Amino acid sequence: MITALRGMKDIIDDAPKFERILRVASGVAKKYGFEFVKTPLLEETALFKRSVGESSDIVGKEMYQFIDKGGNDVCLRPEGTAGVVRAFVEKKLDKAGLAQKFFYHGAMFRYERPQKGRLRQFHQFGCESFGESSVYEDAQMILLVSEIFGELGIGFGLQINSLGCKECMPAYRQKLVAFLANQSEICDDCKRRCATNPIRVLDCKNENCQKIYENAPLMADHLCASCQNDFEKLKILLKDIGFTHNKKLVRGLDYYNKTAFEFVSSEIGAQSAIAGGGRYDTLIEQIGGKPTPAVGFAIGIERIYDLVEIEEPKRNGFVVGALEESCLHTAFELAQKLRANQKVSFINEPKSLKNLLKNADRQNAEFCAVIGENEQKSGTIWVKNLADTKEFVVAQDELIRGNK
């Protein structure tokens, strides 16, 4: 038997949840002025090296990267932001001088070690806002995520931090590098991070490293006046949803500056981040566009399955069938007409009444409508309402009209 690849899952049992999450998230994003965008799953590898960053685990270890038949170095997207930024710049929207907002959803690929909540192909719903430098925009993005989770009935914790800007970040970075230079006990990954993106050491999962970093200088204590002001304002804007200031929150992608945030759940095990995002004011420039401030987030759809409740679907629609071969054509045409505004499942072969009713029950239909020779002759149809078990015979025309 051929099975799905490790870390890749079919969406079958969870399909109703998947659809509901996308419906709710898209609805909320539209309310905040975001428009749908879809970008390719495959991009040039250079795009992710330049954006997510070579120091990140995502680019350093987890990319589905290969040379295509044309000799191009390509990879399956590990995240959605870089592709949306590429599309934005390629379409010259950076030169339009307007704030622009996009939402997207789709599969992302990371060659990680699969475990609960961690897949190699997973799905994100994300939003990216271009052209707004105000911290009010950061607050609105966070409120947007919290509204999506609110509508889905998901409880969460919110962690925020500021990663500083090009004024204050370099001086802090030097301080951190000086601190790290004296730490010979840190793990090999952190030694590598010291040379590439030192602040990522703060995110290390190694317990020994975390002990050492208890005394490390933190960005939050080295913000310039402008970053500090914005962060204070953000805290005021978010006071109603509740948050913690996690001074060690650095995010796993290199493009962030200023506001960084993560939504977490305590109910889903070790992989507790259900959404993450932040500001990335220099990325558009790095991808070759006009300098444009930006902020965004992505929700991990599979991570919230267990937190989403869905109602038992109510009985709905019709199952239409015939008792004899000679009535099948009439039933077929009637089913087609009923479909003008009903969900209709047509049974392609003649069946006994018992079988048709069983089938309708299994499909959770509200009505089972059956044509036998008597009904065929009189232009009627026998109908059973499976919700209240009432049975009646009605003219075929009337049934169709009744549904118009």
**Binding-site ranges for ligand HAM (CB under 6 A):** 79-81, 110, 112, 117-119, 122, 124, 126, 128, 252-253, 273-278, 296-298, 300, 302-303
Judge contact between 356 and 329, C-beta under 8 A. no
In the complex, least distance from residue 28 CB atom to ligand HAM, rounded to whole angstroms: 16
In the complex, least distance from residue 200 CB atom to ligand HAM, rounded to whole angstroms: 13
Nearer to ligand HAM, 138 or 230 (CB): 138
Nearer to ligand HAM, 277 or 350 (CB): 277
Contacts of 114 (CB under 8 A, 6+ apart): 6, 7, 120
- Residue 244 Rama label (left phi>0; alpha psi -120 to 50; beta): beta
Nearer to ligand HAM, 51 or 342 (CB): 51
Phi, psi of 229 (to 5 degrees): -60, -45
The two three-digit tokens of residue 251, written as one number: 């995010």
Angle, helix 135-152 to helix 15-31, in steps of 10 degrees: 140
DSSP secondary structure code for residue 50 in this structure: I
In the complex, least distance from residue 330 CB atom to ligand HAM, rounded to whole angstroms: 51
Q: How many CA atoms lie within 13 A of 107 on its CB side?
A: 14
Closest CA relative to residue 74, chosen from 115, 45, 48, 101: 45
Nearer to ligand HAM, 50 or 110 (CB): 110
Phi, psi of 54 (to 5 degrees): -70, -20
Nearer to ligand HAM, 107 or 353 (CB): 107
In the complex, least distance from residue 100 CB atom to ligand HAM, rounded to whole angstroms: 14
In the complex, least distance from residue 351 CB atom to ligand HAM, rounded to whole angstroms: 44
d(CA 392, CA 260): 62
Nearer to ligand HAM, 82 or 322 (CB): 82
- Strand pairing category for 157-162 and 244-245: parallel
In the complex, least distance from residue 376 CB atom to ligand HAM, rounded to whole angstroms: 55
Report angle CA 172, 54, 212 to the nearest 5 degrees: 45
Give the CB-nearest residue to ligand HAM.
300
In the complex, least distance from residue 190 CB atom to ligand HAM, rounded to whole angstroms: 19
Nearer to ligand HAM, 8 or 237 (CB): 8
